[in-house]
Amino acid sequence: DKYTRPAVKTEIPGPKSKELAARTDSIQNTGALSFFCDFEQSKGNYLVDADENVLLDCFQQISSLPLGYNNQELLDLCKNDHFQATLLNRPALGTFPGLGFPQLVEDSLLRVPPPGLNQVITMACGSCSNENAYKAIFMWYMKKKRGQEMPVLDDLAYETCMKNQVPGSPKLSILSFDGAFHGRTLGTLSTTHSKPIHKLDIPAFDWPIAPFPRLKYPLEVHESENAAEEARCLEIVEDLINEWNTKAPVAGIVIEPIQAEGGDNHASCEFFRKLRDIALKYDIAFQVDEVQTGMAITGKWWAHEHWGLETPPDIVSFAKKMFVGGFYFSDAIRWNMGYRIYNTWMGEPSKLHFLKKTIEIVNSQNLVNQAQLTGDYLMKGLKELESAYPALLNSSRGQGLFCATSISGDGARDKVSKDLLNQGVLVGSCGNESIRFRPSLLFSPAHVDIVLDKLNVALNNV
Amino acid sequence: DKYTRPAVKTEIPGPKSKELAARTDSIQNTGALSFFCDFEQSKGNYLVDADENVLLDCFQQISSLPLGYNNQELLDLCKNDHFQATLLNRPALGTFPGLGFPQLVEDSLLRVPPPGLNQVITMACGSCSNENAYKAIFMWYMKKKRGQEMPVLDDLAYETCMKNQVPGSPKLSILSFDGAFHGRTLGTLSTTHSKPIHKLDIPAFDWPIAPFPRLKYPLEVHESENAAEEARCLEIVEDLINEWNTKAPVAGIVIEPIQAEGGDNHASCEFFRKLRDIALKYDIAFQVDEVQTGMAITGKWWAHEHWGLETPPDIVSFAKKMFVGGFYFSDAIRWNMGYRIYNTWMGEPSKLHFLKKTIEIVNSQNLVNQAQLTGDYLMKGLKELESAYPALLNSSRGQGLFCATSISGDGARDKVSKDLLNQGVLVGSCGNESIRFRPSLLFSPAHVDIVLDKLNVALNNV
Ligand code: FES
């Protein structure tokens, strides 16, 4: 690494960032803007901002950079002529793919399929990955119902679907969970329930929403209480499936292995196994949204591998650190006509080159295992800080490097995360009182030490 | 150009394409797959396929490449270190933009704004551009209704929106047109009405759908009939707005300047001016979807510039040939809180570098004007072929290079477009009996001559 520790020169955002923000504000709202980055000066885990502050980045562009900034092997790839031709001549991939495409998929996505799934399709972001996964689920559901891929030729469905009416546009639903985040387009937004700011004023599908377990920490102290909470949630899932059957049958269940945006909410492996069983019992699809949990950060390539499922999910969607969006799916989900799941770009092959190279790096450097070990080390440190600040810090939770902790008290979370930033440590926030760590896979115990040190100072300052 | 004419060696798809398709079919449905491309061998208007067939490409990856294949200036850009850093370090643009971002927007999107619009936001594809434009419209509508950006603190809206219920998730609608195509995610799909295959089995919002004028060609022969047809459609628009007011008020109207996917359906400038007036009369938003018509192909940068509007549209969305998605919008539409229109990537800055360079090329080579002149030349040729094949060819229509023609008779369109392909000319199809031309902006009269020559042969073969 070019940098070994944070170095803060100005308040953040500094004067340069503020000047650039004012300029940007003349063309769009900048309410979500934090600061401007000097990406060319950034390296690995260190992000340099427009005012030359060097920040240890534990958030990595909302968990979307697996290897941090300016990884040399990826930069070399950018200099490759074949890569450049793939980048520049972006195809309509579903119709006119480049001749290297099948090999590229085999060398990237098919190197890391979730166990039991061998079909995959690419998309461009998390939202279209989930939107199209839902569509595939609805198509699968209707195919089952009528016993064939398409309705007979003169079926009313053809005419009515053009008018958004039943039976062609059926009343079906996707069951999602309170606190979930699956995207912000109108279909996925109907399954997102993390914050009002995302949903207010936007029409939504009336689809069932089940409670996600609210576990109490530390887990070992609240075992029976947490088990009861999970049982309660699963019971409501079944109730909702039965209840909705008469108005908009549940065609599928979608769930994150760890609810990220909603507050880093975990549930037990048993909860997920039972949920999978419920989907099987009612013959509805089970989709695991691994947009944020995928790509090794939890200590396995896919977070749901921790669960020990007997039957794989029907669909696993991805984006962010995978560079490209898309979803893996089972043979049963596979549709059998062109243009049913389709759009102009269908993702972008150049991103698969980034993915291919990243998979090689992750495997050769054993980064999946490192994510587990470094994550354990971070969790241990967070728990020690909990003991030191029992009234303030609690509910530290994590899987691999995918960690969070909660800070109690009015405004305390925001105060701590701002203090951390001014000490040169960038973390994310989620829910109402959590900070979240979404570092790169190159995050090491030495980085953890810096974080814990600064967090100690910040907690002390509250 | 490296190539000066088509050269076909095999049937298309040829044996190599078929082999690659079989390989791809083991991981996903390939029903929409046409053939595989050798992008490295392709140049300008000529696409070389996996079997070394050289095709004059009048479709350009579904109208998404403005300057054809391997443009040298864009390839040079790919070799630039700053470009590569922008590409590799893809930011969460709404929160941590690169320090060059404001300048980059000024040098690209703000070089070509639709008249009267000075706000712009980037997205990643046509679907999320339109999804977010609809969201901006709904937010604008509700802001107007309550007289302030957000509801008061304890308003029921905050709680209900989390459950997809009114009043937080209001019953509002976007009025769209029969034959329209605005995307395939669940929100935009509810405004898409081009083909059942896109919509069948997918739940949709019950939103109003107005007829789009079905003009008769040649226009000069059917003037009064066409005027009556347009008046009929406008009347139904007003009826629908009034009718929907009690169930799901129309917050906005969305329309393509030329319905592309739906069959290259045109309407008069007067029709669009009157439609804009209706939106003003009812104080609802007017969105022009220029995803396919934008970027100079109609002989103006934006197709709606042809209309002579007195009041600009409220929103103009784009994607495809612009490299990046997004939408321009008015000050009135602008939202004033962060995270309301937001997602992880918010487009991709590296694509703005492609756009910036492309705008420079288009301007320096006067390609907007060339699109108009070459398009006129193509239209003249198509009309001459109409005279030669009056029973077969009809309804040639176009604006700049954005041209189409219809071929009557059962299966005749598919026969002609296949024959053209086997002669080395790739065109698109749309609607039930049209072929469409979506060539690059470098398309010249010499290319038109080749197309007309081959089309003559194909029509003769029917
Ligand atoms: S919806 Fe995913 S890129 Fe547009």
Angstroms from B121 CA to nearest CA on chain A: 7
Buried b / exposed e over A115-139, threshold 16 CB at 10 Å, is: eebebbbbbbbbbbbbbbbbbbbbb
CATH 3.90.1150.10 domain position(s) in chain B: 15-71+366-461
A37:B205 CB<8 A: no
Q: Which atom of ligand 1 is nearest to the CA of A185?
A: 1
Indicate whether B2 pLDDT > 90. Answer: no
Nearest residue, CB atoms, B85 vs list A36, A39, A141: A39
Q: What is the mean pLDDT of residues B374-390?
A: 98
B336:A97 CB<8 A: no
Burial class (CB in 10 A: 0-12, 13-18, 19+), A310: exposed
Does the annotation mark B311 as catalytic? no
User: B289, B300, B329, B358: which is the annotated catalytic residue?
Assistant: B289
Instruction: With cut-offs at 50, 70 and 90, classify the pLDDT of residue A432.
Output: confident
A32 touches chain B (CB under 8 A): yes
CATH 3.40.640.10 domain position(s) in chain A: 83-363
Quote the tokens at residue A376: 């354990």
Indicate whether A24 pLDDT > 80. Answer: yes
A316-361 pLDDT tens trace:
999 999 999 999 999 999 999 999 999 999 999 999 999 999 999 9
Q: What is the mean pLDDT of residues B96-107?
A: 98
pLDDT of residue A418: 96
Mean pLDDT of chain A: 97
A263-293 pLDDT tens trace:
999 999 999 999 999 999 999 999 999 999 9
B59-69 pLDDT tens trace:
999 999 999 99
Indicate whether B229 pLDDT > 90. Answer: yes
Indicate whether B85 pLDDT > 80. Answer: yes
Indicate whether A167 pLDDT > 90. Answer: yes
Angstroms from B176 CA to nearest CA on chain A: 11
Q: Give the 3-state secondary structure of chain A.
A: CCCCCCECCCCCCCHHHHHHHHHHHCCCCCCCCCCCECHHHCEECEEEECCCCEEEECCHHHHCCCCCECCHHHHHHHCCHHHHHHHHCCCCCCCCCECCHHHHHHHCHHHCCCCCCCEEEEECCHHHHHHHHHHHHHHHHHHHHHCCCCCCCCCHHHHHHCCCCCCCCCCCEEEEECCCCCCCCHHHHCCCCCCHHHHCCCCCCCCCEECCCCCCCCHHHCHHHHHHHHHHHHHHHHHHHHHHCCCCCEEEEEECCCECCCCCECCCHHHHHHHHHHHHHHCCEEEEECCCCCCCCCCCCCHHHHHCCCCCCCEEEECHHHCCEEEEECCCCCCCCCCCCCCCCCCCHHHHHHHHHHHHHHHHCCHHHHHHHHHHHHHHHHHHHHHHCCCCEEEEEEECCEEEEEECCCCHHHHHHHHHHHCCEECEEECCCEEEECCCCCCCHHHHHHHHHHHHHHHHHC
Q: What is the mean pLDDT of residues B341-367?
A: 98
Domain with residues A83-363, CATH architecture: 3-Layer(aba) Sandwich (3.40)
B34 touches chain A (CB under 8 A): yes
Q: What is the mean pLDDT of residues A226-245?
A: 98
Indicate whether B432 pLDDT > 90. Answer: no
State how far the Cα of A444 lies from the Cα of A352, in Å rounded to an integer. Answer: 26
Fold category of B15-71+366-461 in CATH: Aspartate Aminotransferase, domain 1 (3.90.1150)
Instruction: With cut-offs at 50, 70 and 90, classify the pLDDT of residue A1.
Output: low
Does the annotation mark B283 as catalytic? no
A91:B39 CB<8 A: yes
Instruction: With cut-offs at 50, 70 and 90, classify the pLDDT of residue B1.
Output: low
Q: What is the mean pLDDT of residues B431-446?
A: 95
- Using CA coordinates, name the residue in chain B closest to A173: B203
A24:B101 CB<8 A: yes
Indicate whether B92 pLDDT > 80. Answer: yes
- The highest-level CATH class for domain A366-437+452-462 is alpha beta
B202:A138 CB<8 A: yes
Instruction: With cut-offs at 50, 70 and 90, classify the pLDDT of residue A430.
Output: confident
B199:A344 CB<8 A: no
CATH 3.90.1150.10 domain position(s) in chain A: 366-437+452-462
Indicate whether A178 pLDDT > 90. Answer: yes
B93, B121, B127, B351: which to mutate for ligand 1, most atoms within 8 A of CB?
B127
Mean pLDDT of chain B: 97
Q: Is B125 in the pocket of ligand 1 (CB under 6 A)?
A: yes
Q: Is B124 in the pocket of ligand 1 (CB under 6 A)?
A: yes
B41 interaction partners in chain A (CB closer than 8 Å)? none
B205 touches chain A (CB under 8 A): yes
B128, B188, B344: which to mutate for ligand 1, most atoms within 8 A of CB?
B128
Indicate whether B430 pLDDT > 90. Answer: no
Indicate whether A370 pLDDT > 80. Answer: yes
Q: Is B122 in the pocket of ligand 1 (CB under 6 A)?
A: no
pTM of the model: 0.98
Q: What is the mean pLDDT of residues B307-326?
A: 98
B196 touches chain A (CB under 8 A): yes
Angstroms from B373 CA to nearest CA on chain A: 26
B154 touches chain A (CB under 8 A): no
Nearest residue, CB atoms, A340 vs list B102, B193, B197: B197
